[in-house]
């Protein structure tokens, strides 16, 4: 079963974390989703990088890591999917990726966002879920 870690600054006061997991499982019911934290402080990049960096290194190679932190600080036209040292990391293009890795990723691609779609957490999850499914499908 493929592993997906989920780290966010969303909190757990409503349905959003559960909806993210539901969307990931709709794309691939075989996923095992592991929560890292949903209580990260918004705009605290050093905290988010520290938590993600130290969690990621403890998971097996091939793990997919979804980092939903500071998604709306800018008006994004794309999201990022990186491969680094055998791990895959999906996150916003907000500088956090290089902070997590402490270097440039070995491979990175931009996942385009449709201009007509409402830019919210659940739409971003759909974009990441499709990319993860494509990775898992080869």
Confirm if 80 and 93 have CB atoms less than 8 A apart.
yes
Quick check: helix, strand or coil at residue 12?
coil
Give CA–CA dist 18/53, Å, rounded: 24
Count CA within 13 A, CB hemisphere, residue 43.
3
pLDDT of residue 75: 80
At 39, list the tokens.
């209580």
Q: Which residues contact 132 (CB under 8 A, 6 or more apart)?
A: 2, 4, 24, 27, 28, 64, 66, 88, 90
Q: What is the pLDDT along the chain (138 residues), one digit of tens a residue?
A: 899 999 999 998 999 999 999 999 999 999 999 999 999 998 999 999 999 999 999 999 999 999 999 887 778 889 999 999 999 999 999 999 999 999 999 999 999 999 888 888 999 999 999 999 999 998
Distance CA 19, CA 94 (A): 23
Per-residue model confidence (pLDDT) at position 74: 77
Q: What is the pLDDT of residue 138?
A: 84
Give the pTM: 0.94
- Please report where in the chains the tokens 């990391």 appear, as a residue: 89
Q: Domains along the chain?
A: 3-136 (3.40.50.10790)
> Helix, strand or coil for residue 124?
helix
């Amino acid at each position: 079963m493929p592993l997906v870690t989920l780290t966010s600054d969303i909190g757990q006061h409503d349905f959003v974390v559960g909806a993210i997991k539901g969307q990931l499982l709709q794309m691939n019911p075989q996923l095992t989703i592991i929560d890292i934290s949903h209580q990260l402080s918004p705009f605290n990049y050093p905290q988010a990088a520290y938590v993600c960096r130290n969690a990621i290194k403890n998971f097996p190679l091939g793990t997919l890591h979804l980092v939903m932190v500071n998604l709306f600080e800018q008006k994004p036209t794309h999201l990022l999917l990186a491969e680094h040292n055998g791990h895959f990391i999906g996150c916003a293009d907000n500088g956090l990726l290089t902070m997590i890795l402490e270097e440039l990723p070995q491979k990175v691609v931009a996942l385009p966002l449709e201009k007509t779609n409402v830019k919210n957490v659940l739409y971003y999850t759909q974009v990441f879920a499709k990319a993860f499914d494509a990775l898992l499908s080869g």
